[in-house]
Chain A
């Protein structure tokens, strides 16, 4: 029995890493919408900047830019794909970003299993459609807006905690 222990331990470790490597390869070949990237542009750089600009710097005024919001979701999918490219890169980053992306899909009624190309094209086409909209900016009391933002954060905190618990189960 004793002489088999190192072998069993090695097999356990090996199967763990093998299975993880196969499961975590999250990169997909994508056919991008023609107008999404220029010929020489860096997909990682452009997607990360668009996501940063849309969901971070301009997050408070998102409702005023519905088309950009959809484009942002398309670039977020690209960003995940680019982060996934490095097979031996930061797995935790890939997993966390992947979870955000899949949660968004689910909340919008789209399948988590849908190929990334299809999802990107759906977001991109809907952005084009939304660009036909007329957007009228409305004035809202700043203090009230701040209170609403806090409440939305509160809701997001509760959801995040429950989802984390769900993942740990």
Chain B
């Protein structure tokens, strides 16, 4: 009787245990990672002063430093070190140079809501960079599990002075494209009225004064907003690079991994399955056509 009672309680305890998701034995499996390292070492002979060699060195050190069952805080710190390798990646040759002209906002016809949304995004991106750098810097001071020296190596390889970078990011200020655009619009109105005045002066045959009026008006626009526009442009250059790094570094691969986890060979196959499920008769060509490509 007692045995039966205990058996029942054991079944209930097991159910509760499984229900709360404690049934898995978690461990870090680096077999795939180590295989990839060996392949890279076999196929490539990176020169020791190249950013490629530096990134490989850091990733290998991070892998060697990991145990099978690291503590949660060690995982968070390790992910932080991995994220900071973006500083090394910044030295990789780029396949594109994205830049914004000094007057990129003039006549752009972006709505106030577009400008507010984009400003929010740029500021969020800057805040993220600041928090990542601050975290990385604190690792060099307080890290357990040997991650401090690896983090230090990331800073050395990338010639980064974390304190200076943090200072720079803190002093960058908030980007407000709405205000900037309003300033441009208001100055453009001023410019238009100055040119109108100049035109009247020209009609009065006073060319010297007309030239002075036009020069003064155009100077107003370049001095008043030029610095802010240049700062926003630089932030956008940086943003484009950050977005590109974040995406190239994982999204395509994550999507692929997600599809394979679902039993498909590729993301396109998973998408096809969804299209089929929803009864669409879509082909690649018709989609291209629909998307105007």
Contacts and interface: CB of A to CB of B under 8 A. Distances in A.
A55 B100 CA distance: 24
B251 A97 contact: no
A158 B62 contact: yes
A148 B52 contact: yes
Contacts of B116: 125
B12 A55 contact: no
A66 B118 CA distance: 14
A145 B288 CA distance: 28
Interface size class of B (residues with CB under 8 A): 35 or more
Interface residues of A, number: 87
Contact of B97 (A48, A129, A138, A141): A138
Contacts of A8: 12
A52 interface: yes
B110 interface: yes
B285 to A, nearest CB: 11
Q: Is the interface of A mostly helix, strand, loop or mixed?
A: helix
Contacts of B236: 129-130, 133
Contacts of B85: 155
A159 interface: yes
A104 B251 contact: yes
B24 A168 contact: yes
Given A63-B95, A134-B99, A159-B79, A165 B282 contact: no
Given A56-B255, A97-B258, A104-B246, A136 B267 contact: no
B82 A12 contact: no
Nearest to B271: A48
Contacts, number: 284
A121 B117 CA distance: 7
Contacts of B121: 108, 110, 122-123, 125-126
A46 B291 CA distance: 8
A51 interface: yes
Nearest to B253: A156
A160 B261 contact: no
B8 interface: yes
Contacts of A163: 79
Interface string B1-45: 000110010011001100100001011111011001101100110
A64 B95 contact: yes
B63 A136 contact: no
Nearest to B27: A165
B275 A162 contact: no
Interface of A: 1-2, 5, 8-9, 12, 15-16, 41-42, 44-46, 48-53, 55-56, 59, 61-64, 66, 69-70, 72-73, 76, 83, 89-90, 92-93, 96-97, 99-100, 103-104, 107-110, 121-126, 128-130, 132-138, 140-141, 144-145, 147-148, 150-163, 165-166, 168-169
